[in-house]
Structure 1
Amino acid sequence: MVLIERVLYVAPKIRVYVVPPVTSLSGYMAKDWGVEDERKVIFMGRLRVIESTEESEDDDDDSGPKDVKIDVRIEDKDSGELFANCPYESQASVEQVSDSTRFFAIRVVHGRQKATLGIGFEDRSDAFDFGVCLQEVRRRWAIDKELANKSKTGQSSAGNGGFQSIFSNSEQGGKNDYSLKEGEMINITIGNKGRRKPPPPNSPPKAAAADSSFPMPFLPPPPSAEDVKKRQSRQAEDFSKMGFDDEAFGDFV
């Protein structure tokens, strides 16, 4: 097996402090460490975030996920000798204090012994870059976890037949015939409002009812020619009785 290491972050100078037990709900606070007193500093060195993985020498392909470890190491800045190591396994492994942006509490491991130490950066930009580096590591964890879940889901679907088996069984069973047979009809009813019942077969048509509010006028038949002559004769007799005679006037010019 070959150990492959990759440096994710380097801080050239940090200070290490002893962290007393937490006594408040606000979490770790740098003022409780005595950071303003130089005598409280127990070590000065560099900090490195290392990503390490083991691969076999004949492993030429990328089959299968690799076991990747992240360590926050505190080392001697000249010799590189390890002073303390913090395996970064969760966000709780490194916690920022509540009263400063330059100080963090880290959980170091030495064999079976565990302890919490405080570290402080001289420059705020170094502390910011350190936090961004750890945030990027957590983001990669989330992506790897999502990919692993998708891989397990795909294997489960393949083992149970999955959607492919459902579609294949449907295709093997043939297509359903939904066409109408001879003599079949489809009745469609759209609501009941304003619906009229069809008249029964062989029923005589109903006469249209007369509307009393609009009476239809009935004109008398035209008079005959004989009736017209009689009426004109009666009118001529009436004029003669009244003393009028058309011939007495002669030609009226």
Structure 2
Amino acid sequence: MDVEEAIERVLTVINQCFAFKIPPQSSAAGHRADSWPKDPVWSGRLVISEINGETQVQLRDPKTGTLFAACPISKDGPPAVQKVVDSSRYFVLRIVDAKSGRHAFIGIAFEDRNDAFDFNVAIDDHQNEIKREENAVAEASSKPAIAKDYSLKEGQTIKITINKKPKDVEASPAPVQPLSIASTSKNADLLGFSSFDAPSSSTQQAAPSSWETF
């Protein structure tokens, strides 16, 4: 049986990230980074990607690409990413083991504030996209499309006008009139030139024309 190949679309890559083993949340306000240990348990690359339509925050080795932890982001599940209350560079991830389904919470931190900003923007954009999709579905369900009836009702007809090309009118050719030569002292040819003197009698031969016949 062929295994379906996963299609991955990388959304954001941050080359330097630190992971911490953190204590349980102590107050309802949220996690505090000042209670975390100073030394991280892991450092490497953070990748936000979409795999077969599901978004994940992955912690990977920068050299081998080995997966250290994965934080799936589901619109129907519990919060996957949380901000700490005392720093803009620290966050909490809800990581899930793909085989057992067990989950745990770890802390992550960025040394560069720009990296923390990029991570925060990428998460916010993803959450806003989920909200837009939910709003679109809700709007479509609240306003069902009304099917229009284009069928002809009883007694209705459709008039179609087709432009026809008029037939050519056959014109009868005009009768050919015989040419007549006026009996003048000079005869005019068809082009308006004087050709020769008219003969004085029927026995007199006509002189040849001074221009070529066309």
User: In terms of Rg, which structure is larger?
Assistant: 1
Percent identity at matched positions?
31
User: Shift of residue 144 of structure 1?
Assistant: 1.2
Alpha carbons of structure 1 residues 134 and 23: separation in structure 2 relative to 1, 3 Å: same
- Measure the CA separation in 2 of the matches of 1:51 and 1:124: 24
Measured against aligned partners, the alpha-carbon deviations of 1:82-115 in whole angstroms (never above 9, x if no partner) come to 0100001258210111111111000000032110
Residue identity in the other structure for 2:134: K
Q: 2:81 aligns with which of 87, 94, 107?
A: 94
Residue identity in the other structure for 1:138: Q
User: Shift of residue 150 of structure 1?
Assistant: 3.0
- Measure the CA separation in 2 of the matches of 1:98 and 1:15: 18
User: Shift of residue 26 of structure 1?
Assistant: 2.4
Residue identity in the other structure for 1:7: V
Residue identity in the other structure for 1:50: S
- Measure the CA separation in 1 of the matches of 2:105 and 2:34: 16
Measured against aligned partners, the alpha-carbon deviations of 1:221-241 in whole angstroms (never above 9, x if no partner) come to xxxxxxxxxxxxxxxxxxxxx
Alignment root-mean-square deviation, CA: 2.3
- Measure the CA separation in 2 of the matches of 1:22 and 1:151: 40
Question: 2:48 — aligned with what?
Answer: 49
- Measure the CA separation in 2 of the matches of 1:13 and 1:75: 10
1:95-114 paired onto structure 2 within 5 Å: 95-110=82-97, 111-114=100-103
Query: In the alignment, does 2:136 pair up with 1:147?
Result: yes
5+ residue gaps, structure 2, are 155-214
User: Shift of residue 152 of structure 1?
Assistant: 2.6
Residue identity in the other structure for 2:117: F
- Measure the CA separation in 1 of the matches of 2:140 and 2:28: 41
- Measure the CA separation in 1 of the matches of 2:95 and 2:104: 5
TM-score for both structures, normalised by structure 2: 0.62
User: Shift of residue 14 of structure 1?
Assistant: 0.9
Measured against aligned partners, the alpha-carbon deviations of 1:21-63 in whole angstroms (never above 9, x if no partner) come to 11123210111112xx33xx1111110000122xxxxxxxxxx
Question: 1:219 — aligned with what?
Answer: none
1:236-247 paired onto structure 2 within 5 Å: none
Question: 1:8 — aligned with what?
Answer: 11
1:188-199 paired onto structure 2 within 5 Å: none
Residue identity in the other structure for 1:27: G
Q: How many aligned residue pairs are there?
A: 145
TM-score for both structures, normalised by structure 1: 0.53
Classify the secondary structure of the residue corresponding to 2:86: coil
Residue identity in the other structure for 1:14: C
Classify the secondary structure of the residue corresponding to 2:79: helix
Q: In terms of mean alpha carbon deviation, does 1-10 or 79-88 score higher?
A: 1-10
